[in-house]
Each structure stands twice: as structure tokens, then as C-alpha cells.
Amino acid sequence: MVLIDELLSKERFEGLSPAEFFYRNREIAGFSNPVRALYQTIRELVENSLDATELYGILPEIKVTVDVISPEKNIVKVRVEDNGVGIPSSEVPNVFGRVFYGSKYVIRQSRGLFGLGVKMAVLYAQMTTGSPVRVVTATPRSRRIHEFELMIDITKNRPRILKHNLIDNSKRWHGTIVELTLEGNWSGARRKVVEYIKRTALIAPYATITLKSPDVELHFKRLAYKVPEPPEIGRPHPRGVDIELLKSLIAKYSSGREDPPTLVDFLVENFEGVGRITAESFLKWAGYDPEMPIGSLTIEALDDLARKMREYDGWRRPRAHSLSPLGSELLSKGVQGILRPEFVASITRKPSSYGGHPFVVEVALAWGGEVPVSDHPLLLRFANKIPLLYDEGADVSRKVVDKIDWNTYKVKFPAPLAVIVHICSTKIPFKGVGKEAIADVPEVEREIEGAIRECARKLRRYLTQKEKELSLKLKYVTISKYVDEVARALSIITGDRQEVYRRRLEEMIRSYILMKEVRRGVRKSKR
Amino acid sequence: MVLIDELLSKERFEGLSPAEFFYRNREIAGFSNPVRALYQTIRELVENSLDATELYGILPEIKVTVDVISPEKNIVKVRVEDNGVGIPSSEVPNVFGRVFYGSKYVIRQSRGLFGLGVKMAVLYAQMTTGSPVRVVTATPRSRRIHEFELMIDITKNRPRILKHNLIDNSKRWHGTIVELTLEGNWSGARRKVVEYIKRTALIAPYATITLKSPDVELHFKRLAYKVPEPPEIGRPHPRGVDIELLKSLIAKYSSGREDPPTLVDFLVENFEGVGRITAESFLKWAGYDPEMPIGSLTIEALDDLARKMREYDGWRRPRAHSLSPLGSELLSKGVQGILRPEFVASITRKPSSYGGHPFVVEVALAWGGEVPVSDHPLLLRFANKIPLLYDEGADVSRKVVDKIDWNTYKVKFPAPLAVIVHICSTKIPFKGVGKEAIADVPEVEREIEGAIRECARKLRRYLTQKEKELSLKLKYVTISKYVDEVARALSIITGDRQEVYRRRLEEMIRSYILMKEVRRGVRKSKR
């Protein structure tokens, strides 16, 4: 007992700020060492920049600069500039200096979800070099540009503003520049960063992205002048509900109303795709009076209601208005620009859903050109326009690609084939916590397979045609060999000039081959 | 611009409570589906119970009960009871109802680190079944037992107490009972839970652990009555320092003092194993005046100081007083109790360190008995007494086990060999975020290899001896075959009774074999 008392007397219960939690657990957000941390910092900033532009219909213009300040001490300065909507000056301190603060806690497809990444980058910079983040930003038509330097007070989880300057914005610039000085290993991170930017350019062909670094310069000019339709903010789908969600929606919906709202009104006005008729059919099925006041539901009733909402078969599928797929045309452009293949087939499937979450699958197949020849199809995976570079082996797309018998589609390995899979969803079904591999949810797997097969059929037509063209060409070459001889024989027989026969024979062969091509409707120019 | 304005007008910046963050990201803590969530809930509660007992030198007595309340609805009740130090009643609401609150934010080996797991279990229970957590607890010699029912107010990250009863504690019971009703799939989780409890019993042979469930009952009675020495709370080691840590230590150390403290005092009184002489040698090397007031250090100087503290070679190694290894004797007992092998060798290595964090490696090899025969050694991994059940392939121990040429140690596969590796540290070098695989830090790898080889040499001696015993037995059997014949021949020659010769001959053979054994000092009884 004496030992226990002594040990107990040393125990101290205390609260930890979210900033301190993530400072101590930086690996959770990928900031585990100077290589990963530098890669992660660049990713987070680029993804924020893309969200700040394309979510508002702006053609993104993103400039990434990496400066190695001290190679011995591994100190690197990262600067990312965009032409996005900027951040209201009153929000800047919290957006960069307070963990769990942001504008993305809504149902909508975006690259970032919690804005956690940028705070982690700020934390990592200040703990490794002691330097603040520098932010320069202006919103559209703003008359001032705001320049901030700030750090995070880790114990309090609050921003500490070191500097706030106002600069005249006579040119009406808008956008955001973020600058961080951190411990980072550029030579270790370079390859991953380059691959990341290349793949980002593929999936956002409407963006101009440049990278300047001590040893690599990349410049991806936009290949298209159309941004995909920005996603709208959606409502929760009844199939994805739990008690806590119900409780918080009821609290919000009831507050400030005189008459207690009814159950049917609550369902109609708070959930995705629930009209009055659907709501009433559901309530009948579930055994609830549509007119009962929602305030009178007990915890048991809420549990039962949530369960039945998840089980009910009669809901409309979630709509895809909160998603923002690329579209097959843009996807093809991106693939052509980066992989420069001789043939591309692409498709954007119709919206589908799993467990109340809408999703869209887009697939492209690229053949030949700069696609490397390999024993397996090269797989490029994307989720909500973010390239996934790790854990390919565990991904549902790899599984689908491997189970397809590519012989059916005239592909014989080794072959120059790349498969590009892009999944958009308000909730990507990631496997595990690394957020790099997508789980094999049956609905998602089915869509990916359907999309790949659809593209593969187009590829087969192309390869079949190519085969035929090749055999025609071979025939032409073979026949051509005899033209001279036949022409000579004919000229001897008829006494006419050999040259005339030669020309005529060549014409005949050409028109014969052309006719065959036309008959198959596969003239190259028409592809 | 109109589109941008419209979209911008819908943006709303807001703060998110830590409880809401984890409610939305429950996969981070392993609560991804009814199977994983049930397994994770049991783990978290058992680990808290073990910490509440053995960290205070109490022999743990832990009872786990799983009741399936509704098999159709997948509703399960989990109850874990321990005989630990209990929780002060004033702390109960926050310990169970506030994310980022606890008593474990110190440098000391323990199973739990952030107390996050139990809050996740409470969150998961209330969102899947709407029911509160029930906690019954009493601290040693407390005259009252406190019973609580509480939930987490997710938006505010605050406990909501539904019930608080005081019960007379005439028997002076102490400990904690936690009860949760959640959506969980017992038949899916059963196998993992049983394996987890079995391995926990192996690594904590001084604990009595029971599991009651609808279809499985386990009862592991303690095999030893000695708890490993509880760890002490340590100080940070100078090699693991960063600017933020320096800043917060300086702030704490300076506050409330009249005279500004000096740099040398600051180092001596705040860091692990830094005496005055060490501190002065370091400051000389680093180019700082030992008597300078710490308040006068600029951010640049702090950055430089932190960097030099990480680089300096002259620090003493971290001590292991904040660790609590099992010890080779207890480890052997645990292995014997669970695997029932015919031979065990175990070792606890001397403390070592990596990047300022102390660690100890313990290894046991088990041979034969109930160890299954396999083509590879069976590997059981533990970190701070927690069994690691996932990601074996990525673990440094697997790498070490695979690179050892077991032939050297007389092991020919298939063989009944199990390798048990236990790493204790104030900071386990986990690989990635899953916290299931340990990274191949060279210092750790070296220790694991050394420990395995040390045990393997003992195994080789045992196997060599066994081989010899076997050959002696074979010889005995072979010689014995001729005893009758020789005895008969001798009795014919001498006329004595055959029976006398037979007995004598047998005695001779036995004593010959016994002598050989003694000469080798390997009599079975002496092992």
C-alpha cells in the first residue's frame, strides 16, 4: 500500500491541446522524417491551392518553389503560390494556427478534408527550425493584400501572430502564397515530389503547375481551359445515418422554432433525396407516425429509427451533385499530355453509391507512345483528384486489373499499357489509416471493373484495326515487290511503256487497300 | 466572378471539437466496423486495466465479459473489471468523456499512451446504440464506491453525466469496472479476441485473466506472484529534443523564479542523465556560456542549441528506470504456461537507446510441446507488453528471424520453434500509423538479433544434448538386445544362473550410459 500511495501521489491528470496531440503524434499525418515531411508539406500546400481554385471554377495556376537553405542542416524553404479565392484576413490566423479549424467540414468532394495537413506543416516547421509560416493572401476584388507571419501556441492550440502587414492591391490580385522553412531532405524527397506533381498534372489538365527546385524544373502548362463543374454542398443520405448525427440534426432543426417540427418534415428537409412521398413510405414501413413531433423521440426510438433508416431499401440513390468528376474528355487530355500514348480510351461512369455515399468512377486506358513496356499494366490511381502513390498492392483497382484476362482484349504482355483509375466520392472508402489504398467495397469494385472493361473493348477495336492495318501494309509491301516484274512482263506483251503499267498497278493496289479500309469504316482520319 | 461570389458566400469557417474529429475519423483509432470495433474496445479496456494494476505493483485480476444482447442487431455488451488503483471520482467524467484528457502524458513505459482508445469506445457505443458508458470505481482505502453513467457531448468535447451514485465500500474494494453497449460482431471478432487474451496472458504471467462469452470461456490463472518493478516517470533525454520542447521546458522552469536561471542549471535539472560536468562539457563544445540566463536565448540560438543537443556525442545513455521489462524468468514462465513447450530459453538484454529513447529487448525461444510444427519459426511480437497481431511481414523481428541461418543452431525445418520478441521503450519506433509493426531502427535490430542468437545458442546445446540422449538410448536398446544371449552363454560357460548375469549386464550398461551423461554435465535433472 505504501508503494501504491507513493506512486499514486505522482499521478497527474491533465488535458492536452489538439495541437499538442498532433505535435506528439506527427506520424499520423505523415510527418515522420525529413524526407516524408518535405513531401507531405508540398502535397498539403498544393492540394489546398487546387481546392482554393477549382472548387470556385478558377483555372488553377500553381507555382511551387523549393530552396535548399542549408544542405548540411537539411533546411529547406517551400513556397506555394496560387491564384485562388484567398482566405478572409480574419480567418487566416485560425486557418493556419489552430488545429481543428477550417471550412471543409461539409459534405462535398474536395482534396483536403480537415485542413489538418497545413497545421501539421506549420507545427513541423516551427519545431524543426523555430520559424513561423508566412502567408500572403487576398480575396477577389479585395483592396488590400494581407501578409501574416504566425506560429501555433501548442499548449493553447491558438495562433500567435508575429506580423500583419497590409499592402495596397491596386492590381486586384487574388490568391494565396504560403511559405514555410522546415527541416527537410530534398534529395530524398525529390523523386516522390516529381512523381506527385506529374500525376497531379495528369488528373488536373486544366491547371498550370510549375516546380522550381535547385536541380529540377517542371512546367506543366494547362491542356484545357475548362474546369470541371464545382461540387455543391450536399446533405447526408439516410443510409449513412447514426444516432449522433440524428441527434445533432434534430437539435439544429428544432432550435428557434415555435411549433415543434414533425418527423416527416424533419426527414424531408434534412436528408439527401428524401421527398414527402419517400419519407411517408419509409415512416409507414418503419411504424412511425409522420406527424409526431421529433422532440418526443426517446433514445431507444432514435436508435431504432437510425437502424431502420440504414436498412430501408426504398431510398433514392444519393445524387452526385456534391461530386466533381473530371469527365472523360478532360481525363483523356490529361493522359495524352503526360503519358503521350498512341491511343487513349476513357470513360466516366454514371454515379453510383455505397452505404449512402455517392461515388463516380472514371477510367482511362493508355497504349503505346511513352507508356513503358511491362509485364503487367502500369496502374495510376487517383481519389478525389489526389494521386495515390503508396500501398498499390492492397488497392481494389490492382485486384480488378489483375483479375482481367487481358488476352480477351488482344493485349499480350509485355505490353505498353497503362490503366488510370479515378474515384470521386464524398467519402472515399480508404482501407486502414494510411489513406493510400481503397478497400474492395463490392459496389466500387463492380464500377471499376465495368469501366475498365468498357475501355478495354475500345482498346481491342484499336488493336484489331492496328493488326489489320499492319497486315495490309505487309500485303502492300509484298505485292509491291512484284509490281516491277509484272509491269515489265506486261510491257513486253503489249509493247506499251513499262512505267505506265507500274503506275497503274500501284494505283490499283492502293485503291484496293483503301477500299478495304473504308469498308471497315476504320480510316485512320476518322478515329 | 458571379459564380465565385455565390460559391464563396456559402463557405463557412468553423472550429471542430476533438471529439467530433475522432467521431468522424474513427478508423484512425481502429473503430472501422463491428468486428474491429468490438476487438478494439476489449483491447483498450484490458490495457487500461493492466496499466491500473501493474504500474502500481498490484497483481492484476482482470475479468472480461462479453454478452450478445441482440444477435440480429449485432448489439454486444462488454464489461471489464480490474482490481487496480481506481480513478479519483472527480476525474472520472473527463477520463471517459473528454478527448485529450488523461494521466499518461509523461515519459514512462505504459500500454496506453493517450487514453484516446477508451474515449473512442465510448463515442462508438453512443453513436451505434445511443447508450452511455457505465463506470464503477474506487481508489485504495476509499470509503465510497462511485458509479457513473455518462456520455460525450461531441460538439463540446465535454462529459455529460447521466447518473452518479455513491455506494458504501465497507469491504474496501478498489478497482474499476467499465461497461459498454455497442454494435459489435462477436462471431467475427472472437478468434482475434481469444488470440489477443492468450498472448496478453503470455506476456503478463503475473496476471489472472478470465474471459466469459456466450461460446468461449478462458481462464488464465497467474503463474507467478511477482509484478515487474513499476517504471518511474522519466525526463527527456537531450538527444530527443526539439525547439518546441526546449521552449516549453524553459517556460516551466523560469516561471515563478526571482533570479533568471542559468543555462547550465536548466540543462542539469530538466534532462535525463545530465550532471553538471556533462552539461559544462557540452556547453563548451557548443560554444555557450554556462552562466548565461536562459531567458536571453533568441529563437535562432534555441534552434542552434536544440540541433547541437541532438548531435552531441558526449551525453550519457538514457537510463532504463522509466521502463518495466518482464525479466527473463517471468518471460519463461509466461511462455511455458501458454505454449507448454518441452524447452524454453529466454533473455532480457541490457538497456540500450536510439535517438534519446531508452529501450530493452527481451526474447524467448520455445521448442516442442504444444508449439506447432511449421516451415518457419512461429513469431510472437510484443511492444510494451501489448501483443502485436497485424503487419508481421513489415516488422523488424520478422526480418531478423528470417535472416538467421537456423541450421547453425541445429534447427531443421519443419520444426516446432516459436520466437517471442518483446520490446519495451518510452517510445516504441512503430512503422507507420497502424502501430502494429516496428521499424528497422539499426540499434533495435542489433539488440533483437543479439538476443535471438543468445537464446538460439542455448537451444543448440539442448538439441545437441537431446540428440546424444537419443543416440545413447538407441545404443542401450541395441546392446540390451544381446543381454539375454550373452547371459545365457556366460551361464553355460561358468555354470552360474543366467538370471544373475542378465541383471549384472543390465546394470553395467546403465551405469556406463549414466557415467557418460554425468561426464557431460547434462543430466536431465540439472537442466
Residue ranges of the domains in chain B?
A: 18-220, 238-311, 328-457, 462-526
CATH topology of domain B238-311: Helicase, Ruva Protein; domain 3 (1.10.8)
Which contiguous run of DSSP H or E holds residue A70? Answer: strand A61-70
Q: What would the pLDDT profile of B6-25 be if each residue is shown by its tens digit? A: 877 777 878 888 888 888 87
Place of cell 521503450: B425
Beta-bridge mates of residue A176: A82, A137
Does the pLDDT of residue B523 top 60, yes or no?
no
Supply the pLDDT for residue A143. 95
Q: What would the pLDDT profile of A445-490 be if each residue is shown by its tens digit? A: 999 999 999 999 999 999 999 888 888 777 777 777 777 777 787 7
Supply the pLDDT for residue A489. 77
CB contact under 8 A, A8 and B85: yes
Q: Which of B16, B137, B250 is the best substitution to test chain A (most A C-beta atoms within 10 A)? A: B16
CB contact under 8 A, A58 and B432: no
Three cell numbers, residue B259 = 533570479
CA distance A280 to A272: 15
Supply the pLDDT for residue B140. 94
Packing angle of the helix pair B328-339, B186-203 (nearest 10 deg): 140
CA distance A448 to B22: 30
The structural architecture, per CATH, of the domain A18-220 is 2-Layer Sandwich (3.30)
Contact yes or no for B185/B68 (Cβ under 8 A): no
Name the pLDDT band for A370 (thresholds 50, 70, 90): very high
Window from B53-62, B364-373, B383-392, B455-464 with minimum mean pLDDT: B383-392
- B11 vs B52: which has the higher pLDDT: B52
The residues near B179 (Cβ < 8 Å, ≥ 6 apart) are B77, B78, B79, B133, B134, B135
Name the pLDDT band for A525 (thresholds 50, 70, 90): very low
If contacts are CB pairs under 8 Å, which of residues 302-321 in chain B contact chain A? 302-303, 307
For residue B35, the chain A residues in CB contact (below 8 A) are none
In whole numbers, what is the pLDDT of chain B averaged over residues? 89
For residue A128, the chain B residues in CB contact (below 8 A) are 242-243
Does the pLDDT of residue A271 top 90, yes or no?
yes
If contacts are CB pairs under 8 Å, which of residues 363-402 in chain A contact chain B? none
Provide the pairing of β-strand B61-70 with A378-383.
Answer: unpaired
3-state secondary structure (DSSP) of residue A3: helix
Q: What would the pLDDT profile of B64-89 be if each residue is shown by its tens digit? A: 999 999 998 899 999 999 999 999 99
- The H-assigned helical ranges of B130-275 are 186-203, 243-254, 263-270
Three cell numbers, residue A389 = 502513390
For residue B128, the chain A residues in CB contact (below 8 A) are 242-243
Does the pLDDT of residue A344 top 90, yes or no?
yes
The residues near A411 (Cβ < 8 Å, ≥ 6 apart) are A417, A456, A459, A463
For residue A248, the chain B residues in CB contact (below 8 A) are 154-155
- B315 vs A472: which has the higher pLDDT: B315
Report cis status (omega within 30 of 0) of the bond before B414: yes
Region B113-126: what's the mean pLDDT? 87
3-state secondary structure (DSSP) of residue A445: helix
CB contact under 8 A, B15 and A230: no
Q: Does A17 lie at the interface with B, CB-CB under 8 angstroms?
A: yes
Q: Which of A75, A244, A302, A307 is the best substitution to test chain B (most B C-beta atoms within 10 A)? A: A244
Does the pLDDT of residue A60 top 70, yes or no?
yes
Q: Does A109 lie at the interface with B, CB-CB under 8 angstroms?
A: no
Packing angle of the helix pair B396-403, B442-494 (nearest 10 deg): 40
For residue A95, the chain B residues in CB contact (below 8 A) are 13
Supply the pLDDT for residue B520. 58
Q: Does B1 lie at the interface with A, CB-CB under 8 angstroms?
A: yes
Does the pLDDT of residue A520 top 60, yes or no?
no
Does the pLDDT of residue A433 top 70, yes or no?
no
Name the pLDDT band for B475 (thresholds 50, 70, 90): confident
Q: Does B69 lie at the interface with A, CB-CB under 8 angstroms?
A: no
Q: Which of B105, B142, B162 is the best substitution to test chain A (most A C-beta atoms within 10 A)? A: B105
Does the pLDDT of residue A353 top 70, yes or no?
yes
Does the pLDDT of residue B522 top 50, yes or no?
no
Residues present in chain A in total? 527
What is the complex's ipTM, to 2 decimals? 0.79
If contacts are CB pairs under 8 Å, which of residues 209-238 in chain A contact chain B? 230, 233
Region A87-106: what's the mean pLDDT? 89
Region B96-104: what's the mean pLDDT? 87
Q: Is B405 exposed, middle or buried (0-12, 13-18, 19+ CB in 10 A)?
A: exposed
Supply the pLDDT for residue B317. 82
B328-457: in CATH 3.30.230.10: yes
Supply the pLDDT for residue B2. 67
CB contact under 8 A, B27 and A432: yes
Q: Does A100 lie at the interface with B, CB-CB under 8 angstroms?
A: yes
Name the pLDDT band for A527 (thresholds 50, 70, 90): very low
Q: Percentage of chain A surpassing pLDDT 90?
A: 62
Does the pLDDT of residue B31 top 80, yes or no?
yes
Does the pLDDT of residue B166 top 50, yes or no?
yes
Handedness of CA B328, B329, B334, B335 (dihedral sign): positive
When computed from its CA atoms, the radius of gyration of chain A, rounded to whole angstroms, is 30
Does the pLDDT of residue B433 top 60, yes or no?
no
Name the pLDDT band for A524 (thresholds 50, 70, 90): very low
In whole numbers, what is the pLDDT of chain A averaged over residues? 89
Cα A282 to its chain centre, rounded Å, is 35
For residue A10, the chain B residues in CB contact (below 8 A) are 233
Does the pLDDT of residue A518 top 70, yes or no?
no
* Closest partner CB to A434 (pick from B16, B299, B432): B432
| Residue A71 Cα, gap to closest chain B Cα (Å) | 14
Supply the pLDDT for residue B527. 43
Burial A9-38 (b: 16+ CB within 10 A, else e): eebebeebbbbbbbbebbebbbbbebbbbb
CB contact under 8 A, A10 and B233: yes
Region A308-324: what's the mean pLDDT? 89
Contact yes or no for B69/B125 (Cβ under 8 A): no
φ/ψ bin of A183: left (φ > 0), alpha (ψ from -120 to 50), beta (otherwise): beta
CB contact under 8 A, A18 and B21: yes
- B429 vs A380: which has the higher pLDDT: A380
Q: Percentage of chain A surpassing pLDDT 70?
A: 96
Give me the phi and psi of B479, to 5 degrees please: -60, -45
For residue B163, the chain A residues in CB contact (below 8 A) are none
CA-based end-to-end distance of chain A: 86
Three cell numbers, residue B233 = 516517470
* Closest partner CB to B155 (pick from A20, A126, A248): A248
CB contact under 8 A, B100 and A17: yes
CA distance A63 to A76: 16
Give the residue from A189, A146, A150 showing the smallest Cα distance to A41: A189
CATH class of A328-456: alpha beta
Amino acid at A180: L
Supply the pLDDT for residue A184. 95
Place of cell 455518462: B150
Q: Is A527 exposed, middle or buried (0-12, 13-18, 19+ CB in 10 A)?
A: exposed
| Residue A100 Cα, gap to closest chain B Cα (Å) | 5
Does the pLDDT of residue B339 top 90, yes or no?
yes
Give the residue from A332, A350, A349, A328 showing the smallest Cα distance to A340: A332
Name the pLDDT band for A514 (thresholds 50, 70, 90): low
Does the pLDDT of residue A522 top 60, yes or no?
no
For residue A8, the chain B residues in CB contact (below 8 A) are 56, 85, 139-140
Place of cell 488503483: B85
CB contact under 8 A, B299 and A131: yes
Q: Is B159 exposed, middle or buried (0-12, 13-18, 19+ CB in 10 A)?
A: buried
Region B303-316: what's the mean pLDDT? 91
- A324 vs B504: which has the higher pLDDT: A324
Q: Does A2 lie at the interface with B, CB-CB under 8 angstroms?
A: no
Burial A192-213 (b: 16+ CB within 10 A, else e): bbeebbbbbbbbbbbbbbbbeb
Cα A415 to its chain centre, rounded Å, is 27
CA distance A84 to A157: 27
Supply the pLDDT for residue A411. 95
Does the pLDDT of residue B512 top 90, yes or no?
no
- The H-assigned helical ranges of B109-229 are 116-129, 186-203
If contacts are CB pairs under 8 Å, which of residues 271-300 in chain B contact chain A? 299-300
State which of A432-441, A483-492, B38-47 shows the largest mean pLDDT.
Answer: B38-47
Supply the pLDDT for residue A114. 65
CB contact under 8 A, A18 and B23: no
Does the pLDDT of residue B133 top 80, yes or no?
yes
